A and B are shown apart, each in its own frame.
Chain A
């Protein structure tokens, strides 16, 4: 009975996830207010007011202000406010036209045509031209004649053979991408910033087209931006936003308590519970695939029965309860619920918690008494370390003696991830909005396939899915791909962890995205006093 309750809860959570657009939205209400319309869960009438400034806490320094050179997710979440691509993600995970007003993909998936939006201006006042767009695309696709090695080339765009600009009869600028192989999912990668051509100070004074424009940046201290009055879309409410860089979450937490920060996105559940007096706590998702990743090239995880036994032996709901206060959404394959229509919710409970079954499988695989294994965990992610500790205890029940090996992030990247020297590891993997992005690492030839997963059927369907233009078929392919991963017990998929954001009670409109960004344009000061 208890188990049923948990499963029901999990299902409810998963259903709830796709509705979670804005902060603290009443779960029972289905009305979807526009303009960042999330209310703060308080029964009061609030009108968004324009003006004001806020301080947002972040815990990592920006690696570059040039959007094409920035590689850290922590930088991208800030620069999202300054820059826009051809398209940009909205809160529901759709890609909406941004610098382009209109996007057309040819039926064979071999070419993309964009119409440049009228009246888009860069922050320095010059209008965006087709040349700027072509230049920007070429720059981050690695197609410029002289390639700057510091630019992060989007490797998914390597199938582009040519980018050209033209004008149609009505004088509108068009940009055409010609591909060398069919791909209908490039839009997810065309969120890269459009920047002015021949402007070489991007790394010091970035210029983009977004709802905010750059004011100042002081390393290890702050990044300041102000409202862009010429923005073509819905203007930002706030006049000024300061991203304040704190040394770590604990230092930022003290600043929150002292009132120096208005919005802080990386709280632990425990910290969040201490802040309820002055802050509304918004709970969303982190959009990560958290899993105990198994290395298929290492014994005993080359045996599918062992992998399945691991899936049965680990109680995912207990992990959520122990490390995240029960928050988070369970997953059963390599994709999270944020992918909406692509997410295969049927797989969440393929492997239920069943110790007997796990023991049977282990016996069949020749490990009746279990075995010893190592879980490699990056030490800077306390959340994953906590998860590992719960798993170690759970595995003891089936006779598997796991020990945790903490490694520093730089070591994890080079040895564990790239060097594939590990048995099992716990991390959270993120993705952009293209469904292929989150699953591409399972291709047998992918260099990012750190699990050394190998399934010819997966490779084949993956290629079909990427090239498919028909949406219904594409969805079916992706669901099938997830099913293959689950059936192979590719890893022990745990959850999409919950994300806790503290937002000052004076503010509203904090919006969660299915990608890693902090959209400040939707936040506003509440005008009327709250009714008690």
Chain B
């Protein structure tokens, strides 16, 4: 119980710090929400009136704490640019981002775990060498470049999907999946390569330990040794890594969203920073931070499930 209280308190502290830092960052960089909104034709009076209406004329602490007060109740205020509640903007963009993340994570898990085990079981074999070369190469390819290649090959030449043809999951879920598989592949492939390498190294290290010899000497088949005994222990570093990966993709693969024209949180953030749309930026940053923290928390819980030696204090 104490553990959870401690975790939650630290989570709140971190979120508070992040909000404060984002807020300060926005004071330091040049630019102004009202000016960005009104463009080149506005008179000084108009800018002043809008600044007043948006509350930009209040003192710094006043603005920060009024924002904080709202945020505690889940109200991030209204976007300067769109004049809509920030929560509405964010919710509208979640399906694309969460969908992308979910599909990529499934791809990563489904492909990398069997592949990693295969490589470690047949270490040095033809399959292992082929996979190693492939993973080394793919690890070095940035996701955005992969995205462009996928767009060119599967979109332009093979016409397997309509470039830029994102379909809302509420309209047509199958269409949504058919489109999302391509950006998800761009996100997943480099991460699959890394996970395979991670898992392989981890399994190989475990295989050298005494308990494996014991398990083998009890007459277990190699498969049972691997899946029932080794995998559990080998997964610990992989879980840590997966935690990072999940946080990464959920936080919005900004570049991939751009390449595949996905209406996701990442694109919202890029546009909002450009417009100095401070409430939106705050909300997205808080969202990203919260995702990272929560995923980390879940990872901690998983450690305990996988390895009871890890005790939570």
Contacts and interface: CB of A to CB of B under 8 A. Distances in A.
Q: Do A and B come from one complex?
A: yes
Interface of A: 61, 63-64, 69, 71-73, 149-150, 152-153, 155, 203, 218-221, 244, 246-248, 251-252, 254-255, 257-258, 260-261, 380, 407-411, 413-415, 417-418, 429, 447-448
B233 interface: no
Contacts of B36: 409-410, 413-414
A246 B82 contact: no
B35 interface: yes
What 6 pairs between A and B have smallest CB-CB spacing? A410-B31, A149-B53, A220-B263, A258-B163, A255-B164, A411-B30
A72 B39 contact: yes
* Chain B interface, DSSP helix/strand/loop, else mixed: helix
Given A218-B263, A219-B263, A251 B159 contact: no
B176 interface: no
A69 B83 contact: yes
B41 interface: yes
B44 interface: yes
B127 to A, nearest CB: 36
Contacts of B83: 64, 69, 150, 203
Contact of B31 (A71, A221, A255, A411): A411
B168 A221 contact: yes
Contacts of A429: 40
A149 B50 contact: yes
Contacts of A218: 92, 168, 263
Given A72-B39, A252-B164, A447-B44, A257 B156 contact: yes
Contact of A61 (B47, B152, B271): B271
B263 A260 contact: no
Nearest to A413: B35
B164 A246 contact: yes
B40 A260 contact: no
Contact of A150 (B31, B39, B53): B53
Nearest to A154: B41
5 contacts: A153-B46, A155-B43, A155-B46, A410-B31, A415-B31
B43 to A, nearest CB: 5
Interface string B51-92: 011000000000000000000000000000111100001001
A203 B31 CA distance: 26
A64 B78 CA distance: 13
Contacts of A380: 274
Given A155-B43, A414-B32, 5 more contacts: A72-B39, A150-B83, A246-B261, A251-B259, A410-B32
A247 B257 contact: yes
Given A71-B39, A220-B267, A251-B261, A414 B53 contact: no
A255 B162 CA distance: 8
Interface of B: 29-32, 35-47, 49-50, 52-53, 81-84, 89, 92-93, 151-152, 155-156, 159, 162-166, 168, 257-259, 261, 263, 267-268, 271, 274-276
Nearest to A430: B40
Contact of A410 (B41, B44, B165, B275): B275
A69 B37 CA distance: 10
Contact of B35 (A64, A258, A414): A414
Contacts, number: 119
B31 A414 contact: yes
A246 B168 CA distance: 15
A246 B50 CA distance: 29
A414 B81 CA distance: 16
B155 A258 contact: yes
A244 B30 contact: no
B268 to A, nearest CB: 7
Nearest to B151: A254
Nearest to B276: A410
B261 to A, nearest CB: 5
A247 B38 CA distance: 22
Contact of B40 (A64, A152, A413): A413
Contacts of B166: 221
A254 B93 contact: no
A410 B31 CA distance: 5
Which of B42, B47, B49, B81 has the largest number of chain A CB atoms within 10 A? B42
A412 to B, nearest CB: 9
Nearest to B45: A155
B187 to A, nearest CB: 16
Contact of A254 (B49, B89, B156, B267): B156
Nearest to A66: B83
B92 A260 contact: no
Contacts of A203: 83-84
A64 B79 CA distance: 11
Contacts of B47: 418
Contacts of B156: 254, 257-258
Contact of A418 (B35, B37, B45, B164): B35
B28 to A, nearest CB: 12
Nearest to B171: A218
Contacts of A448: 40-41, 43
Nearest to B54: A149
B271 A260 contact: no
B52 A149 contact: yes
Contacts of B92: 218-219
A150 B31 CA distance: 19
A410 B30 contact: yes
Contacts of B84: 203
A409 B274 contact: yes
A251 B81 CA distance: 23
A21 to B, nearest CB: 26
Contacts of A410: 30-32, 35-36, 274-276
Contact of B159 (A155, A258, A407): A258
A150 B39 CA distance: 13
Given A219-B92, A220-B263, A414-B31, A251 B258 contact: yes
A329 B159 CA distance: 40
B188 to A, nearest CB: 20
A414 B30 contact: yes
Contacts of A447: 43-44
Contacts of B38: 71, 152
A247 B32 contact: no
B149 to A, nearest CB: 12
A255 B41 CA distance: 33
Contact of B89 (A219, A244, A261): A219
